[in-house]
């Protein structure tokens, strides 16, 4: 398989700080070499950059401009035959651009979102104002249309083509939203049970035709309810310790239950299976 790696070194719209260092950490820990050892062809990583001249004082506008660049890179990469795009994102906000690029290249997208948090808040429901808690809601068309449209995601992701796996820390408004919409939800406790891969694969079969192509989003804080978080915002430390899931990340998140992370990758393998 030909794999294009796209790196988005931003924590929200801030570069070279905190989770923004995650994509480089993946590469430094031998990601490319590990993929090549499995027989894949890897392109030179593409780095997304928002020029200083295009930055504004508004973080949502900046996120939209970053998303537009991510979407263009993803769309271009998917034009290649037998291609797979791996986007290393500083945080979850940059998933909007990846979904937009998939939509432009392949049509109506579906989303499988592995995360301890729902990221389903809107500006009306958020109690913190943290933009990292909004991106899945943005992709679903619930708020901040300018951000979504800047990513080239003209039609929002349909709830029938949306999945949330591994959530262990949902806000009340997110729980209510999941009750109102037909989003498939598998919580963290269910993710740790035996046979979870087969059960999720079975649940997804009925949704196969709800999307033309699927985006799989993995936030490593999906490790489960025993995960202990350090200082900083919720869910920080998403990708900087991917080479050793049981180790502390450089950003202060210690992921405890190793088997839970393994189960998460087991589910990912089922999602990649051609028969589902």
Secondary structure class of 81 (helix, strand, coil): coil
**pLDDT the model gives residue 199:** 84
Q: Give residue-wise pLDDT tens across range 141-176.
A: 999 999 999 999 999 999 999 999 989 999 999 999
- The answer to whether residue 215 scores a pLDDT higher than 80 is yes
Q: What is the CATH number of the domain that holds 104?
A: 3.40.800.10
Quote the CA–CA distance of 69 and 96 in Å, as a whole number: 11
Angle at 108 between CA 107 and CA 110, to 5 degrees: 125
Angle at 221 between CA 19 and CA 128, to 5 degrees: 70
Contact 198, 270 (CB under 8 A): yes
Average pLDDT over residues 35-64: 96
**Stretch (H or E) spanning 201:** helix 196-205
Instruction: Report how many domains make up the chain.
Output: 1
**pLDDT the model gives residue 275:** 53
Please, which residues have CB within 8 angstroms of residue 70's CB and are 6 or more apart in sequence? 6, 8, 48, 87, 94, 97, 98, 100, 101, 151
Sheet containing strand 109-114, edge to edge, reads: 184-187, 162-167, 109-114, 213-218
Q: Give residue-wise pLDDT tens across range 177-204.
A: 999 999 999 988 887 788 888 888 888 8
Contact 196, 190 (CB under 8 A): yes
Average pLDDT over residues 256-268: 47
Kindly report the pTM of this predicted structure: 0.85
Q: What is the 3 state secondary structure string of 20-78?
A: HHHHHHHHHCCHHHHHHHCCCEECCCEECCCCHHHCCCCHHHHHHHHHHHHHHHHHHHC
Quote the CA–CA distance of 145 and 155 in Å, as a whole number: 10
Please, which residues have CB within 8 angstroms of residue 16's CB and are 6 or more apart in sequence? 9
**Stretch (H or E) spanning 191:** helix 188-191
Residues pairing with 184 in the sheet: 163
- The answer to whether residue 247 scores a pLDDT higher than 80 is no
Domain that holds residue 211: 2-272
**pLDDT the model gives residue 29:** 92
């Amino acid at each position: 398989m030909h794999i294009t790696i796209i790196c988005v070194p931003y924590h929200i719209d801030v570069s070279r700080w905190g989770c923004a260092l995650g994509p480089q950490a993946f590469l430094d820990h031998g990601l490319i070499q590990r993929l090549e050892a499995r027989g894949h062809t890897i392109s030179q990583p593409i780095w997304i950059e928002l020029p200083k001249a295009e930055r504004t004082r508004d973080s949502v506008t900046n996120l939209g401009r970053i998303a537009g660049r991510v979407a263009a890179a993803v769309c271009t990469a998917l034009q290649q035959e037998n291609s797979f795009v791996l986007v290393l994102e500083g945080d979850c906000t940059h998933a909007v651009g990846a979904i937009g690029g998939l939509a432009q290249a392949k049509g109506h997208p579906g989303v499988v979102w592995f995360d301890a948090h729902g990221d389903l808040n809107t500006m009306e429901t958020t109690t913190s104002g943290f933009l990292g808690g909004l991106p899945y809601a943005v992709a679903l068309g619930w708020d901040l249309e300018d951000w979504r449209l800047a990513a080239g995601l003209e039609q929002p992701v349909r709830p029938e083509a949306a999945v949330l796996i591994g959530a262990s820390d949902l806000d009340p408004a997110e729980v209510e939203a999941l009750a109102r919409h037909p989003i498939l939800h598998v919580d963290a406790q269910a993710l740790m049970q035996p046979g979870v891969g087969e059960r999720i694969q079975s649940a997804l079969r009925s949704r196969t035709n709800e999307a033309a192509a699927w985006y799989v989003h993995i936030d490593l804080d999906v490790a489960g309810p025993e995960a202990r978080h350090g200082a900083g915002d919720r869910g920080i430390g998403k990708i900087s310790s991917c080479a050793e899931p049981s180790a502390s990340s450089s950003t202060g998140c210690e992921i405890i239950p190793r088997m839970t992370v393994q189960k998460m990758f087991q589910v990912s393998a089922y999602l990649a299976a051609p028969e589902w």
